[in-house]
């Protein structure tokens, strides 16, 4: 019996998409009962891969304590999609019980119509104010390691996007160097209220993924991934309720950069001691 349970958990961990498909074929009560017996960290990617309509019906069969823990464990974009499938009173009840940072990200996504970029962006992305040194930047990033990605976005005091910095390059820089020295322009930005149909054919995807998302006044809001935007646009065009797209791909990306996030302590210690600079002849990535 234990062997079968281990095999089931391994399947859920390695194949959340197919597992979601199987659960969608069950009655909501059966699927909900099964998922509640699975560790939340393994269940969250499966919930993310389910069609929001079915996931919502299943979550309505779960105790609110479980729903709170689940939503908190999910990435913001699929969590927002799941909340959209719940009755309004249940959504508001969950938002009131979630940690403040999670609630903020979800409310930001939920304010945008489902056919716009803002509804599908990833808001939990590291940004830094202009004018910091590399050491000051890493000091701040230690507090927000889960938001680390391959780019850090630099904003002015009004939160308007100025450009981006390569995380890998920052890892090799000396602590006293200004972060702005590594600032590079972004190929393009996506408006949060832009239609998915326009965003899906943005030429800048060919050279940059993800793309930063901005408000009307230029404030930086987050980033959008091509796989997510393309899938959501196709589903909207076909009149379907889109599952959270690219969940497996995004999980791999998050896992990779999560590994990088765990290295923050090392560069922070090196920078504090004065790490050697990179070869001046080395080309920027």
Q: Residue 40 is part of a domain; what is its CATH number?
A: 1.25.60.10
Which CATH number covers residue 239? 3.10.580.10
Q: For a pLDDT cut of 70, what percent of the chain falls above it?
A: 80
pLDDT band at 2 (very low <50, low <70, confident <90, very high): low
Mean pLDDT check: name the lowest of 63-72, 89-98, 156-165: 156-165
In a domain, 155, yes or no: yes
* Residue whose structure tokens are 């399947």: 11
Question: What residues contact 125, with CB distance under 8 A and at least 6 apart?
Answer: 147, 149, 153, 222, 223
Closest CA to 208 of 192, 224, 194, 195: 224
In a domain, 119, yes or no: no
pLDDT band at 276 (very low <50, low <70, confident <90, very high): very low
If asked whether residues 155 and 202 sit together in one domain, one would say yes
In a domain, 279, yes or no: no
If asked whether residues 252 and 216 sit together in one domain, one would say yes
- Residues 230, 236, 237, 241, CA torsion sign: positive
If asked whether residues 92 and 169 sit together in one domain, one would say no
Average pLDDT over residues 18-41: 92
If asked whether residues 173 and 259 sit together in one domain, one would say yes
What is the number of structural domains in the chain? 2
In a domain, 219, yes or no: yes
Mean pLDDT check: name the lowest of 32-36, 98-102, 192-196, 267-271: 267-271
User: Where a domain ends, among 111, 141, 158?
Assistant: 111
In the 8-state DSSP scheme, what is residue 116?
Answer: B
φ and ψ at 62, to 5 degrees?
Answer: -105, 150
pLDDT digits (tens, 9 = 90+) for 236-261: 787 655 545 444 444 444 444 444 44
If asked whether residues 166 and 61 sit together in one domain, one would say no
Distance CA 173, CA 271 (A): 8
User: Where a domain ends, among 55, 87, 111?
Assistant: 111
* Residue whose structure tokens are 């030429």: 203
Q: Please check whether residue 184 is in contact with residue 202, taking contact to mean a CB–CB distance below 8 angstroms.
A: no
In a domain, 281, yes or no: no
What pairing do the DSSP bridges indicate for beta strands 151-155 and 161-166? antiparallel
In a domain, 121, yes or no: no
In a domain, 260, yes or no: yes
pTM: 0.69
Q: Which helix or strand (DSSP H or E) is residue 78 part of?
A: helix 76-84
Distance CA 60, CA 180 (A): 48
If asked whether residues 105 and 134 sit together in one domain, one would say no
If asked whether residues 184 and 259 sit together in one domain, one would say yes
If asked whether residues 151 and 74 sit together in one domain, one would say no
If asked whether residues 93 and 164 sit together in one domain, one would say no
Distance CA 106, CA 100 (A): 10
The full DSSP string for the chain is -HHHHHHHHHHHHH-HHHHHHHHHTS-HHHHHHHHHTS-HHHHHHHHHHS-HHHHHHHHTTS-HHHHHHHHHHS-HHHHHHHHHTS-HHHHHHHHHHS-HHHHHHHHHHHTS-TTBGGGG-B----EEETT-BHHHHHHHHGGGGGG--SEEEEE-TT-BEEEEEEHHHHHHS-TTSBGGGG-B--S--EETTSBHHHHHT-GGGGT-SSEEEE-TT-BEEEEE-HHHHHHHHHHHHTT-----TTHHHHHHHHHHHHHHHTTTHHHHHHHHH-PPPPPTTPPP-
In a domain, 215, yes or no: yes
If asked whether residues 150 and 64 sit together in one domain, one would say no
If asked whether residues 144 and 221 sit together in one domain, one would say yes
pLDDT digits (tens, 9 = 90+) for 90-122: 999 999 999 998 999 999 999 999 899 999 998
Q: Which domain holds residue 107?
A: 2-111
User: Where a domain ends, among 111, 139, 158?
Assistant: 111
Average pLDDT over residues 14-25: 89
Per-residue confidence (pLDDT) for residue 147, from 0 to 100: 65
């Amino acid at each position: 019996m234990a062997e079968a349970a281990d095999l089931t958990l391994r399947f859920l961990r390695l194949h959340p998409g197919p597992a979601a498909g199987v659960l969608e074929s069950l009655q909501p009560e059966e699927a909900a009962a099964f998922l509640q017996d699975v560790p939340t960290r393994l269940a969250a990617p499966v919930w993310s891969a389910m069609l929001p309509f079915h996931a919502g019906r299943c979550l309505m069969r779960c105790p609110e304590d479980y729903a709170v823990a689940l939503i908190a464990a999910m990435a913001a974009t699929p969590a927002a999609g799941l909340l959209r499938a719940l009755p309004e009173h249940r959504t508001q009840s969950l938002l009131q019980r979630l940690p403040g940072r999670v609630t903020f990200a979800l409310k930001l996504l939920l304010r945008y119509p489902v056919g716009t970029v803002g509804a599908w962006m990833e808001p939990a992305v590291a940004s830094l104010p202009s004018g910091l040194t590399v050491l000051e930047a890493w000091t701040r990033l230690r507090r927000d390691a889960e938001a680390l990605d391959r780019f850090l976005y630099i904003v002015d005091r009004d939160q308007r996007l100025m450009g981006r910095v390569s995380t890998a390059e920052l890892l090799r820089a000396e602590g006293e160097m200004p972060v702005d020295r590594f600032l590079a322009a972004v190929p393009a930005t996506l408006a949060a209220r832009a239609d998915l149909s326009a965003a899906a054919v943005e030429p800048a995807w060919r050279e940059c993924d993800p793309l930063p998302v901005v408000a009307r006044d230029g404030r930086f809001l987050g980033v959008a991934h091509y796989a997510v935007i393309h899938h959501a646009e196709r589903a909207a065009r076909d009149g379907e309720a889109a599952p959270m797209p690219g969940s497996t791909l995004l999980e791999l990306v998050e896992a990779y950069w999560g590994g990088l996030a765990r290295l923050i302590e090392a560069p922070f210690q090196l920078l504090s001691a004065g790490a050697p600079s990179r070869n001046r002849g080395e080309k920027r990535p």
